[in-house]
Structure 1
Amino acid sequence: MGRPRGSRHRARSGPPPQRHAAGAPGGDANPSGRAAEGRRRHRPRLRHRRHPAGPQGEVAGAPHRGRLGGAPGPGGTVVRGVDGACRAPGRHARDFAAVSGVVLFPLAWAAVGAGAGVLVRWGSVRLARLERPEPGEKPLEPGQKSWQVYGPPVLAALVFFVFALHLGASATLFVRSFFILVLVQVIFFDFEYRLILDRVMFPSMAVALVVSLFRDPWWAGAATGLGAGLLFLVLALAGQAIFKAEALGFGDVKLAVFMGLLLGPLPTVQAIFYGVFLAGVASIGVIAWHRSLKGSIAYGPYLAAGALIVLYMLA
């Protein structure tokens, strides 16, 4: 006897049988086939995107298949994740470029100062030989001590570097570098020979006078130079009258005129104060070293050092 039609209909309309995730509970007749089917099911599908500009020739018609991405762009075969647009330099690169630009010029200018310092020492002795020597004096010969040989180029290089760091490549730097060399020459030459050369001071005073005319007021530099020169002239004459010896030389008087023309009213007073202070410290050192009140020092190097300090403050 066959089954009733109603029972067949009810069997088909029931819910579909549930399959276990690991296969039939009673056993798996084909385990290798089911494992392969599971791997195919969980394998990621790669999508091939079309470039918005449309087909790009033969390369775009055959997109790359694999994990590197879809079709290449208009620039050719582009590998995603590897090729990319060029980025602007980062903050560290910009900082390095800025620091290099700030430091390289002062270093180069310091090298110029070192070379100029060598020329200053070489030319000073030759200029001194052109001046008329005093009766009984021997011709000047350059010393061979370390501070005499290396002092001018080292100090000139150091001061050139500091001024270039603050002023940069400007006309002010070039003009002040000339005055720096004059002061460096006075410091070492007067310290070594106790002599301030007229062939150095007079041209330097002329240049300082021309530069002072561009300041406001234009007459301040000339008036300050004249006043400083008269003050030091009175002190020099008074020293000779009181101590019966040369307390201040006439080279110091010329140096005071040059400082007044170069610096102006108030900076000249500051430079003289610094110079007198440094000279006082040096005098105490000389007295302590020789253990005697006898002896003398040259004021010119300390006045020039005070002028250098004030010139840096004005920078």
Structure 2
Amino acid sequence: MYRPCCLWFLLGLAPLFLLMAAQTRAGQDDPQRLLGFADSLLQEGEYFRAITEYKRFLFSYPSHPRALEARYKIGLAYFRGQEWEEAILRFREIVEAYPQEEIARDALFMIGEAYYRKGDYPSAIRVYQAITAHYPQTETATKARYRIGWSLLRLRQWEEAATQFAAIEEQSPYYPSAQTLMQEAKKGETLPRKSPLLAGILSGLLPGAGQAYNGRYRDALVAFLLNGAFILGGIEAIRAGNEALAGAIFFFEGGWYSGNVYGAINAAHKFNRDVEERFLQGLELQHHSILRKLGSREIPLLHLSWRF
């Protein structure tokens, strides 16, 4: 008696369970919910989980009106996750597949940004120049012209960067920043630098002198003492009539001496790179607010047009 009652009870509840499961699945498969969940992951910095959800959305709804937006956000998630090559690939797919859509120029700009972030400034410049050539009267082109100036700064092409910033139109929101950067770029030529040639010559004449010229006084002392010790040891070996030992000492001294000269030259180059990098980082800090504004339209939601 007990078992049949339980069986009939369970059978009676089965349709209710099926209905609840169907409703739950429908909620999970709702395209807006799927895309909203992916967006929340993207905003929370869960970039690769967001990519999975965007791909799930595209698999389930390949013809949905927001499918192109999902494709763009996959590229954006890779970009924010610093997967530059994958981001470039995803944005390029949009540019090639939807060249007439407004989102294509945003994707093209993000390709330039990916090249810029990975340090490939010549490629970034080529992309930005393509934007200014194909979309000359757009906000994206204005951003691209400004970004070309920054790319030239990063290439240490100071005069070219100053010229680029000088060409920014007065009505552009980047004009005040560009005017300041034009003046700052000219200072790049006059930054305090060390001559690698002079550093090498000084260390050739007196071991450690090149390092001292570069401000590396500890290295200068070590180079002077080590080379001095080898030279004195070789001289003493000659005086003692031990030419074999003297030859061995001077052989090793030749390596230390060459390393001393090479180290001085390399230290001068490093000094110059550090000076230029601090200068550029100072400019980025000074123009931080405008640079943030530059990337504030990474997700173009308001001006998308869709193909049905």
TM-score, normalised to structure 1's length? 0.30
The structure with the greater share of residues assigned to helix is: 2
Q: Larger radius of gyration, structure 1 or 2? A: 1
